Every structure is written in structure tokens, then in C-alpha cells.
Chains A and B, each alone.
Chain A
Amino acid sequence: MNGMDSVLALNYLSVALALLIAVVAALGKRTSNIIRVLAWLSILSFAVASGILLLKTIDGPVEYYNGLIVHDKFTAFLLLGISLTGALALIGAGKDPLIWESSPGYYSLLPLVLFGSFIITGVTDTLTLIAAWLLVSVINYVFIALPPDKESRGAAVRYIMIGAVATLFLLVWLTGNSVVASAQGLQGLQISPLTLDKISGLTIAAFIAALGFKIGVVPFHWWVPSVYGKAEGRVVALVAGVTKLAFIGVLARVVYLASGGSLGGLTLVKYPFATPAAAKNIALVLGVLAVASMFYGNIAAVATRDMKIMLSYSAIAQVGYILAALSAVAYFAGSNEKLAYYAMAAVAVQAVAYGLAKAPLFTLTGVAERIERLKGLMSRDSISAVSVGILLMSLLGLPPMLGFWGKILMFYAVAGFSIILVIISFINTTISAAFYIRMARDIMATDVETDVVVPGDMRLSLLTGALLIVFFGFIAPIVFSIA
């Protein structure tokens, strides 16, 4: 088995184990620990595959399926983050999902969504993207509906309905792409250059609208507080942590290619209407959406004491930071490889930092929805308290946590084209300090003691997340050669 095969083999093993879970459940072992073990093995298999992939991509992009899938250092790092985020969600959920009637869905769909992430983040072809999109999206909707409560199902319905419209926008993008590609390639369609440009603009707008929905970018974010805020914390950890990272990956890939970037000289991958003017327009739109998302998310989060709501809105703000880096990707792709590289690194690092922090924090909302209830956690459970503190400080962007490198890389890349965007990002970081530090202070208080008992699995998830955040804080600069 050669190296490339090992990645695919481990991925296939992961999918096979996921399917086995369904079989085991059908054999009447729905509540058996075997299901958890299989899920664990499946995720482990995917994580190892992602690690191997990261090592392979250090030297340059790697092709799969005749170039339909191309992974580079950024997507490989993202995949590793996705697998670890999934693991954290699984640890945090503990045995609770086993008592749900839908438990086989929870355990078997998680590995499948990881495989979908492998496809969607490395996609170079529009049709493959649509296929992967549908796989990941449908699993996403199912995740929300899994817990056996009314609110989760209500949230799932809302999510599915708006998600369907978002998928329509993706189809608009697909159609527009086909039109432009046909006009350029086959010369069969007689369309004036101006009209072709207009169609190009519309298609990229449609793509941003579709992906904007998936990752919760303002003004396509309306579902986020309702779904994150109402659905069960254990499944929100998957949606907000795992699948969102996959969608961030594909958005970054398309923006990079649409703005003139190339994947290590692979001629196969060429976007139909990438021009410098297009790149500037995409950068501008993404920059504006980034600013809107940062302000919207941070301001809405600052005054709430509902932990789930705070995490939901701050998720919007975090996507704003990632979008700021993406705007730099669009601006520099094809014109300044060095800054484009830093911008892509910023997207990957910021996204992974976000996922690793949010997944365990969302699971924590399963035991305490209000922040006040966690006041004095330090006195009762110092491991959980310190872990939560580390996760919050990473979201804030303090060294030596991974979030620090995400912010630094983002500031560095964005400063190359818009110092105003840097200042706005910095102001937003300051605003976010108000709620992150306040929550950390409450948790660290030693003069009171909370009545909340953090279950062992959840504590392990928080601790593992904190350790990974610190570990990756040291590793990320090496991976991206920025130290």
C-alpha cells in the first residue's frame, strides 16, 4: 500500500465502520457500547488519514480521483481539525446519544460527514461539489433533528427550509458556471463579453449567498441563533464545529480559484472567469460581509448571559474574522503568492481554532445554559474551569493558543490591502473581550461555588480541546513555516 492509498484506505475504513454501526443497530444493539467503539474507531481512522495527508501535502498538493479532489496543506490542516473537532464532540456527548431512538444516526452519520468533508474541501469540479454539498448538508439537517425533543425538530425544520433555498443558489452558481465555461470553451454559445461578465458576477454572488448561509455569514445568518440556540448542545457541537469547517474549506477553495489562484501548477484546476477585476470585487464583497458579521455577532453576544446564545452570536463574529482573511485570499490570489499563502493559512488556522474551541463549549451548554450557573466552577471543578478559560482565551486570540496565530496571520495578510479592515477586526476583538473575559472571570471566581456538575465525558472533552488548542498553538507556526 503506497502513501496515497493509505489515506484513501483509511477513509474507506472509516466509512465502512460507519456503515457497520447501522448494521449493528439493525441487529438490535442500538444502545450497545459497540456502537460507540465503532464510531470511535471510525473517527480515529479518519484522523490518522488526515494526519498522513497533512504530512504529504507539506511538499505540495496531492491529487485524488484523477484530480477531482486536490488537497493542499490548508485543506489537510482543516481536515485534521475537522476530525479532532468531531472527536471532541463525540467525547463531550458521552453515552447520552445512546438513549436517543435515533442514536445509530448520530454515530454512523458522523464518520460519513467526515468523508463528505474530505471530498468537499478538496473539490476542483463543480459537479463533485454539488454531490458532496448534498451529502454534508443532508447529514447536517439530520444532526439537528436527532435529539428527541420538540425544539430540536423545530430547529431542524427551519434549517432544512432555508437550507433548501441556499442549495438553489448553489444550483444558480452551477448553471452560471456552465454557461460561462461553455461560452469560453466550446464557443457554442454566442454571448457578448459584457453579458458574460455579468453572469460571472451573478454566479459568484449566488455562491457566496449559498455558502454564506452554511457558515452563518451576515446577512445570510438568520437561522444561526434559532438553530444553535434552540437545538441540543451535543448536536450543535457537530453542526457548528464539524460541518461548518468543511463549508469554510470549500468556500476558501472556490474563492481562491475564482480570484486567480492556482493549486501548485495543476492545470486541471482552472476557474472559468478568474480575472484581477473579479478578484477585487470578490475581496470587496467578502470584506464588507466580514465587517458586518464581526460587528453583528460581537455586539449581539456582548450583553447576553445565555451561554448558547452567546456562543451562537460569537460564532457569527468568528466567521467574520475568517471572512476577513478570505477577502485577503481573494485580493492576493494570483497576484501576491506570499500574502495569499498567509491569508489561506489564516483561514485554516482560524477555522480549526474556532472548531476546537466551539465543539466542547457547545457540549457544555448541555449542563448549563446560563453563564451565571457556571460562576465559581473553579472551586468545584478546576480542570473544567481552566479548560474553559483556555478555550475562551483562544477564541479571543491570546497567545500561546491556536486562536492567536489565526488572528495574527489574519491581521498580517489583511494589512496588505486594507488597514481599515485590520482596525475593524481589532476593534471587534476588543468588543469580544468583554464577553469572553467576563465569562472566564465568572468561571474562575473562587468566592462562590456552582451547583453545576460537569460530567466526566464533558470534562474530558473540554480538557482535550484545551490541550489541543495549546498543542496546535505550538505546531501551527511550524506547519505553515511562520515561526
Chain B
Amino acid sequence: MFAASAMVNPNSGLMPWALIWGIPYLGAAILAILFFVGVRNEKIYSWGAVTSIGLGALVAVYALYKVLKEGPIYGASNTNWVPWLNIKIGVYLDGLGAIMAVIVSVLSFLIAVYSVEYMRGDWGVQRYFFFFTFFVASMLLLVTADNLVLMFIGWEGTGLASYALIGHWYTDEEEYWVGVPGRKALGVPMYFEPSHSGVRALMFTRIGDIGLLIGMSAIYLLTHTFSIPLLAANTHWIVELATKGSLTALLIVFSMGALAKSAQFPFQEWLVTAMTGPTPVSALIHAATMVKAGVYFMLRMAPIFLLGAAAGHVVAAQLQSYFYIMAGLGAITAFMMATMALVSNELKLILAYSTASQLGYMFLGVAAAGYIVSKANEAAALGVAAGLSHLMSHAIFKAALFLIAGWLIHVAHSRFIDHMGNYAKYMKLTALSMWLAGLSLMAIPPLSGFFSKELTLKSAEEAGLVWDWALGALTAGLTAAYTLRMILRVMHLPPKKETHGHPHEAPPLMLIPYLLLSLTALALGLAWVWVYPGLAKGISETLAVQVPLDEVKQAFTIAVTSAKTLGTLAWVGVSLAIVWYLYVPAKIDFDRILERSTIARAVHDFLFDRWYINSLIYIFIVGGFAGLSLILAGFNNILDIAYHMALPALFVLAAAGIRSLHRGKTDYYLMLYLYFAALVLLYLYIAWG
């Protein structure tokens, strides 16, 4: 067994490791103070954010180096932070935590640099960089926390920042909307303002967070600890829950926060409309980092859950049910969102659909591996390998695509791809970046996306989850199709509608970050053979992963050499060929087809309006609550009348009645006094003895 699995006591002080999130938090605090004392200089905020995030990234990189070289780091405060809950402030840097910290901090740094140029002159730039820095700090806290409470604080911090940044342009001008203005589905508007989208994101993710809180509380009641290493060291709580038959249900409730955060079905809607935020925000929060928090949760907790499998059949069966459901949700999300991306005409929306779809792959990879409970140790390793690999490669290429989208939307003065076209002629480097990142998204070898996606499908294949694998494989073709369509329409084909933009290459501060990221996607793929042993080392140093390094390495090689992988690749190739044919030689006019064919229009509308899920949520859930609210309002009115009119009238009447008894006459008072005194005397005379 690895030391990582057994380490329940700190082997280091809190410092310097807490600097990973401490420096960005300090940076955010300084920015806030500067704002309140009246400093408004834009450069102080932008470069202040870049600096604090960059310093945090340096500490994270150093931490990863130490972890890979010397093993996990567990730093904690000397005293209890919350004594009655026995919680310390702790940083747990095992392979998973350290790799996540590096991914988050380095990507955030690059996106922050991009933001310096992108947000220049914006009326809320100070607020933007404050929340940006606060977000990065919270995300780093989330992935390095040693206990569930600290992790939850980071979790909610990211949610808060996300809300603020989605609604950054809260004055709600139409140019910042998502969706086609005026469009409705089943009578429900399908266009969203930034302020509305911010609230939607908060509401959707809060529903999941309630589940997370319930799960945390239940586990605490059973174990009396929030410490993640301790939960892994003593898995009696898993056995206890399974004995009561409630393990599957509780784990699903516990994972609701992860499902919502990573926009998995049925919580996917918030991510789509979160695109009202500035594009770097979409790149950072809604592609590279925050949406990965749910996947991180699965990567962190699934191996711990699997430790309980050794306790016997009852636990194993309930764990299987849990992983089966989670894998199914991942596969459905991957497929569903990819179909929506096929018909979308908004650049950021295509990428948003794609993000949710790719997150589905990650869930599928982790959960499907977990399904193989008979080989719990190997399953944990395979799951973390699949999930973490795709998380890493997706974070890189999707961040690049979003940053590119930000520039293209700026150039086109429109978020719709109908107003974009032929940009490759004017911006070669941007086109190159888009192709590299896009090919990685399409999972074309040798780009990194190919290796990581195949690992997730390999999980489903190993687990024997045929339907999930089939959906995943089908989605691979759809992914390639919508990505190629997007690149062709934006970069190589003429715009469909008149455009007022003046295409030109992005300024260096914006170009360099996405160029670097897309080149990294290529380099990572080319160097996969050398990169992946490092990754495997990290995985083998992850809490509750109990498989030797060599076995973890094997999981990678098997994944990319199977026959099914070649089959999937062939399907991707076919898919690409079809799209190329339809758009380039055949030049099919899809708008005319939609005008003429009712069936085609119905299918298009179904996909374009997101399977009507948003409308159904508004009709049944929001509408249901609105109806309930109306009923309660009616009831409240009755109470209001009773409370404010009937009751006071009654009291006035009673008060007048009582006061009318007092006539100011002495003989009358005497009579009353004697009469009641006699009553009391009589009562006590009878009662006594």
C-alpha cells in the first residue's frame, strides 16, 4: 500500500503550501481595499491580479515537483480552526491535488494575462479582476483542502465569483445576451440577460450544493470527522450505510453538488446561459476550472468509496448501482449536449455545449471505472487516470478555444457565427490555434484530446457498460462534426450574413495565451509517451489509489491500442468527411432545407431549443413553484386581512369592553372587588382539605 493512502497526520506545516491559495486571496483582498479607498487605476487591478495568480502558480508548480519527487504533502495548522468540529486548516497535496493546483493556477495565469487586454476600458474592470482573483483563490482552496468543510468554502467561493462574473454586465444590453432575442420554445423565452443568467447559475448549482451539504453532514454524523484522509483511512461509514441499504442513495445525494457544478444532466442548463459573462470568464470558469470541480470531486471521492468495496457483496452491489447511475448520467450528458452543439449558431454556445459534453466524458470515465468494483484498486486507478487525463487536456484546448472565441466575437461585433467567416485569411496564427485546439477536441491523434478521450471510453468498455460506451463513441463522431462545422464556418467559409467587423490578428497579450495553449495541446499529445509516466506517478500518489505505478502506466497503453479505439477513430473520420462534404463541395443550404421540410425543422428546433429541457424546467418546476407561490400569496392575503384588520378590530373591541368596566365609581369598584374576592374565597374553601 502506498504511503499516500495511509497518511492521516500532517507531515508539514501549513506554510508555504497554503500560499497556493493564500496569495490570490490576499491579492483579492488588496484589490477590494484599494477599491474602497478610491483607487480606480485599471492597470493596478489587472496586473495585481496577474501577479498574485502568477505567484500562486509558482508555489503550485513547486508543490507538484515536491510531490512527484518525495510523495504527498499534508500541511495543517497547529491549532483547530473549529474546535467543536475538530477541523484544522489543512492543505492536502497528493498527486491529484498537486496536478489540479498546477492546472488551475497556470491556466488562470494565462487567462488573466489575456484579460488584461480583453477587459481594457471596461466600466467594471476593477470588479472583474477582484472576482477573477477571488475565484482563482477559491478554486485552489477547493482542490487542495484536506477536509470537506474547507473544500466546501472553496466550492461556494467559486460559485459566488461565478455568479458575479456571469452577471458582470448586469446592465443587460442585448449584445451581452445568450440566445436569439425574441425566440421562444413552448412559450418560454430562450434568450437570457447577464443578470438573469447569473441568478440561474446560482440557483441550479445551489440545488446540487444542498445535496452536497446533506451528504457531508450525514458522513460527519457517522464518522465524526470532515477530514478527507481520515474518511479514506476508516471506511466503516461506507459499510454502515450499505448495511442500512442507503449507500447508493446517500452517495448520489452527496454527488449532486458535483453533478450541478459540472453541468451534468439534469443540471446542465446553467452552463449554457453562463455564456453571458465576459469570454475570459467563460474560458476560465466555464471551461478550464470551475466546471471541473465536480469532476475533481469524483476523482477525489470515488477511490475512497471504492475502498469500502472490500467489505463484501452488500457494499459492492450498492457501489455498483451508484457508479452505474453516475456513468449513465455522464454518457447521456455527453451525447445530449453534442447534439445541441451541432445546430447552434452562437460561437460561445457551441463551446458551452461542447464543455458540458466533454465533462460528461469525464464523469463517464471515472464512474465507469468505479463500476468494476470486483477489482476496486485497479478501478480507482483507471478512473482517476481517465478522468484526470481528459480533465487536463480538455482544460487546455477548451481554454484556447474560448479565448479565440473572445477575439473573434470582438472582431465580428457579434456572438453569432452567421456574422463570421473567412477569418483564416486575416489571422493565420489564430486559425492555426483554432485548428490545433479543435483537432484536440475532435480527438484526432496525436493531439492530447485523443489519448484522454480514449481513456474514458476504455473505462466504459472495461466495465462492460455497452450502452454508455456506445453513446460515448457516437458522441465522438458528433464532437468532430460540430467542431469542424464551427471551424469551417468561422475560418474558411464566407459569412452567411452581412458583417461589420474588420478582421485582423489579435494583439500579442491576447494572441500569445491562446497560441501557447493550443501549441500545448499539440505538444502534450506528441509527448504523451513522456508526459504520461509523470501523470501516472501523480495518480499513484493519490489518496486511496492503491495500485503500483507500473499498473497505472499500463492502463494508458491498453486504452489507445484496442480495436474499438480504431473503430471510434474511423467513425470520427467518417463524421468529418460528411461535414466537409456538406459544407465545402456540396455547399448545402441548410436554411432552405429548414424552410421546406417540417421534419427537418422539428428536429432542428428540438436540438436548437436544447431538447426543450429549459422550457420544461420553466413550465413544470418554475411554473409549479410560481403556482404554489400564488396559492400561498392568496393564503397570505387572508392572513394579512385577519392579522391587520380582523385581529386589531377584535382587540379594539375587547379593549373598549374591558375599559368600559371601569366607570370611576367607588361603590361599583367595591362591589366588584368584594364579589371576586368572595369567588376566590369560595374556591379555596372548597378546594382546601
Contact = CB atoms under 8 A, between A and B. Distances in A.
Interface string B669-689: 110111011011101111111
Contacts of A281: 684, 687-688
Given A157-B666, A205-B683, 15 more contacts: A161-B666, A161-B670, A162-B669, A162-B673, A198-B689, A202-B685, A220-B676, A220-B677, A222-B661, A277-B688, A296-B658, A299-B651, A300-B658, A302-B655, A303-B648
A303 B650 CA distance: 10
Given A200-B688, A201-B687, A165 B670 contact: yes
A179 to B, nearest CB: 14
Given A209-B680, A219-B676, A299 B688 contact: no
B667 to A, nearest CB: 9
A401 interface: no
A169 interface: yes
A274 B673 CA distance: 27
B659 interface: yes
A45 B664 CA distance: 39
Interface string A154-175: 0001100110011001000000
B669 A201 contact: no
Looking at B664, B668, B673, B676, which has the most chain A CB atoms within 10 Å of its CB? B673
B680 to A, nearest CB: 5
A169 B677 contact: yes
A87 interface: no
A205 B681 CA distance: 5
A373 to B, nearest CB: 20
A9 B206 CA distance: 71
23 contacts: A161-B666, A161-B670, A162-B673, A165-B674, A198-B689, A201-B688, A201-B689, A204-B684, A205-B683, A208-B680, A219-B673, A226-B662, A277-B689, A281-B687, A284-B687, A285-B683, A285-B684, A296-B658, A299-B655, A302-B655, A303-B648, A303-B651, A434-B651
A301 interface: yes
A304 interface: yes
B685 to A, nearest CB: 5
A205 B662 contact: no
Contacts of A220: 673, 676-677
Contact of B680 (A197, A200, A205, A226): A205
Nearest to B669: A222
B670 A201 contact: no
Contacts of B680: 205, 208-209, 285
A434 B658 CA distance: 18
Contacts of B684: 201-202, 204-205, 281, 285
Nearest to B687: A281
B651 A198 contact: no
B interface, over-half SS: helix
A193 B656 CA distance: 47
B311 interface: no
Nearest to B651: A302
A417 interface: no
Contacts of B661: 222
Contacts of B689: 193-194, 196-198, 200-201, 277
Contacts of A230: 664
A477 to B, nearest CB: 24
B652 interface: yes
A160 to B, nearest CB: 9
Contacts of A223: 669
Interface string A82-112: 0000000000000000000000000000000
Interface string A301-332: 11110000100010000000000000000000
Interface string A271-304: 0000001100100110000000000100111111
A197 B686 CA distance: 10
B673 A222 contact: yes
B654 interface: yes
A194 B659 CA distance: 42
A296 B677 CA distance: 17
B672 A303 contact: no
A304 B662 CA distance: 14
A158 B662 CA distance: 12
A277 B684 CA distance: 12
Given A209-B677, A281-B688, A303-B651, A222 B672 contact: yes
Contacts of A165: 670, 673-674
A209 B681 CA distance: 8
Contacts of B662: 222, 225-226
Contacts of A40: none
Contacts of B656: 303
A204 B681 CA distance: 8
A158 B669 contact: yes
Contacts of A404: none
Interface string B141-160: 00000000000000000000
B657 to A, nearest CB: 9
A141 to B, nearest CB: 13
Contacts of A198: 685, 688-689
Contacts of A209: 677, 680-681
Contact of B673 (A157, A213, A299): A213
A197 B687 CA distance: 10
Nearest to B670: A162
Nearest to B654: A299
A206 B519 CA distance: 101
Nearest to B666: A158
A166 B677 CA distance: 10
Given A197-B688, A205-B683, A300 B655 contact: yes
Contacts of B673: 162, 165-166, 213, 219-220, 222
A300 B661 CA distance: 11
A286 B658 CA distance: 21
A300 B672 contact: no
B676 A202 contact: no
Contacts of A205: 677, 680-681, 683-685
Nearest to A194: B689
Contact of B681 (A202, A301, A309): A202
Contacts of A213: 673
Nearest to B649: A303
Contacts of B681: 202, 205-206, 209
Contacts of A285: 680, 683-684
Nearest to A206: B681
A284 B677 CA distance: 16
Interface in A433-466: 434
Nearest to A201: B688
A339 B656 CA distance: 39
B683 A303 contact: no
Nearest to B677: A209
Interface in A385-439: 431, 434
Given A197-B689, A202-B684, A205-B684, A304 B677 contact: no
B582 to A, nearest CB: 71
Contact of A225 (B654, B659, B687): B659
Looking at B677, B679, B685, B688, which has the most chain A CB atoms within 10 Å of its CB? B688
Contacts of B655: 299-304
Nearest to A296: B658
Contacts of B652: 303
A281 to B, nearest CB: 5
Contacts of B658: 296, 299-300
A467 to B, nearest CB: 33
Nearest to B681: A205
B651 to A, nearest CB: 5
A209 B670 CA distance: 12
Contacts of A196: 689
Contacts of B687: 201, 281, 284
A194 B689 CA distance: 6
Interface in A198-256: 198, 200-202, 204-206, 208-209, 213, 219-220, 222-223, 225-226, 230
B685 A201 contact: yes
Nearest to A164: B670
